Structures are given as structure tokens and as C-alpha cells.
Amino acid sequence: MAFKHKKKIAEILAMSFEEYAKFLKKEINRAAKLGQLDAVVCSQHAFADGKESALVLMGVYTGELAKFFKENKAKKEFAKGTCFFEQTDAGVTMHIALNAGKGKPDKVQKGGKKLWSKLGIDSKFYAGELPNLDASLDAVNVGEEELTATVDAANDEQKIGVVVKQYKQAKKLLQQEVVPFITDKATKDTDYTNQHFKIAKKALASAISVIDKVEELDENKQVTYQKILAAAQKDQPQLKRIAAKIKKALMATNEVDIEIDDQLSDAEQAKKMQLSLEELDQVFTKLDGLKVKALEAIKFLKTQ
């Protein structure tokens, strides 16, 4: 069932700061069970008691929510995007990726500082659903052909609902674990791990899977899944570039070209790399032997 606030937007806007904080806390508990949702945010809203704070409205971007954003999208405080909630040992983290409007992630983050504290949640805001990466990364091979063949075979045994769910979960994990590294200008090649690559390839495979599965449906059923199909088609190039960027970073931190196989477990990959290092040690031992012989030859020639 689609999420919808239990009060009209006009009623929410008329609340005091304390009323809104209590209301939003309950709504977040409901929303956290439903995965990814649309969201409209305002970085600085004046509540009925005169206090100002960020405002977050969640749901499906249709009807009242869509109308509200269209009426306010020209204002610098407003933006829309998608949100999801991560359950951690420390509590709930709210992730919101803004992809339209003039509102900025840092402004919303700062404007809602007292609200996030009141709610007892951690909040993270991003600009855009996925980072804008250079198209030159398209030339990097991340195994798309193998992924396409794999998901095509797997889709024969999977229902469309399962495929869509996997895509949403994979993209959620990517936003949570990988996108912050990609968008942070301070990130270095050495900050990326094999796990980041595996998450990126899983997200790419899931997008390819959705596209493949929807195109296999009959025309009547395809109409139902046009929105998720459009999202997957839009995401696929950027998901590929994310995987390519991480692969390039991983390769740059190794002196030899060690391929990362995301089909292997971390333990198996560690064993594979250990064997590669042992082979390198053997090569270096031989080189050291040659170096000793060369030095002896030079010493001998100098005495002649």
C-alpha cells in the first residue's frame, strides 16, 4: 500500500514546531517499513509558533504532494527527490536524495538540525539520485555482457515483483554505502574496497534485470511497470559508470592488474590475491638473484 501522510498538507503546515516533530516521528516509523518513497523538502519553514526549521513531506509524487511542490518549486528553499530509512544499531538514519528544485542538501541539513535532534535520527542529504560521472568511464569493461546473460537466465525463474524489489534494495544500498564516497571530493582511490565494487555491480545488474524483465511482459502488464522501467533505463548508464570508477580506483592501487571477481566471497578474493602476491614474491626472489650475479659480474669486470 502506498504511503500517505495521515494529515492533509495544509494541516501539517499549520502545526507548531513541537506538534510537527511529534507527528513526523510517528510518520517516519510508518515510512521506514515501506522502502523508498518520494519526498518534498523545504529548508526553512515557519511553523505556527514562529519557530523555523526544515520540513519533510513523504509519499508518492502524485496528487496533493505533486501539486504542493509545483506551487513552490521556484522558491530557493524547496526541492524534491527520494528518501529511504536505514535501521542501524544506533537508531534510524534518514537518507534523502534531491533531484529537482532549488533547495540544496546542505541547507536542508542545516535548517533541520534541531528537528533531527528532536526526532532522534541521523539525516543524510545528497544532490541528485546518482552522481554525475564522466562518460569516458563507459569505455571501462565491468562485465556488462556477463551480467546481461546472467540476469536474462535468472529472470526466467523470477516474478516481476521480485525483480523490482531487488532493484530498489540494490539501489538503496548503493545510495547508502557507495554514493557518499563518489560524491565526496576528498575521496581517494585507496578509500574504495572490493565491497564497494560488489555493491555497484549488484545495482547495475538489478537495473539490467528490471529492463529485461519488463520488456518480456505482455503489453498490458508493461503499462503497470512503465515508471520503474523508465527509472532503470535512466539509472543504467550512471550505475555502469559508478562500477567503472570503482574498478579503475581498485586497479590503480595495485602494482599488478588483479581482476576483482564479485562472484567470489571476500575470503575467496583474499586467498586469490594472496596467491598473486606469493607469485610476485617468487619473481622478486629471482630478480634479486639476477641482481647479485650482475653485481658480481660488474665487480669482476672492473678488476680486469
Every domain of the chain and the residues it spans: 9-127, 135-252, 272-304
1-18 pLDDT, tens digit each: 578 898 999 999 999 999
C-alpha–C-alpha distance, residues 203 and 195, integer Å: 12
pLDDT at 256 over 50: no
Residues 249-269, mean pLDDT to the nearest whole number: 59
- The answer for residues whose C-beta is within 8 angstroms of residue 233's C-beta and 6 or more apart is 211
Edge-to-edge strand list for the sheet holding 52-59: 52-59, 37-46, 78-88, 91-101, 122-127
Q: Which amino acid is at 24?
A: L
Neighbours of 169 (CB within 10 A): 16
Residue 185, exposed/middle/buried by CB under 10 A (0-12, 13-18, 19+)?
exposed
Q: What is the CA radius of gyration of the chain?
A: 25
In the chain, pLDDT over 90 holds for what percent of residues?
30
pLDDT at 282 over 70: no
33-92 pLDDT, tens digit each: 777 788 999 999 999 999 999 999 998 888 899 999 999 999 999 999 888 887 767 778
> Which pairing describes strands 37-46 and 78-88: parallel, antiparallel, or unpaired?
antiparallel
Neighbours of 6 (CB within 10 A): 10
With beta carbons less than 8 A apart as the criterion, state whether 40 and 78 touch.
Answer: yes
Q: Which residue has the higher pLDDT, 277 or 15?
A: 15
Residues 92-96, mean pLDDT to the nearest whole number: 85
Helix (H, G, I), strand (E, B) or coil at 48: coil
Query: What CA–CA distances, in Å, run from 267 to 249, 256, 271, 273?
Result: 21, 20, 6, 10
H/E element holding 265? none
With beta carbons less than 8 A apart as the criterion, state whether 198 and 262 touch.
Answer: yes
Find the distance separating the first CA and the last CA of the chain, reported in whole Å. 92
Alpha-carbon 79 to chain mean position? 19
C-alpha–C-alpha distance, residues 157 and 181, integer Å: 35
Write down the pLDDT at residue 144: 80
Place of cell 592501487: 253
Query: What CA–CA distances, in Å, run from 133 to 151, 278, 291?
Result: 25, 36, 45
With beta carbons less than 8 A apart as the criterion, state whether 104 and 43 touch.
Answer: yes
pLDDT at 212 over 60: yes
Write down the pLDDT at residue 219: 84
Write down the pLDDT at residue 286: 67
Angle between helices 266-303 and 194-216 (to 10 degrees): 130
Write down the pLDDT at residue 255: 41
Pull the grid cell for residue 51.
519557530
pLDDT band at 257 (very low <50, low <70, confident <90, very high): very low
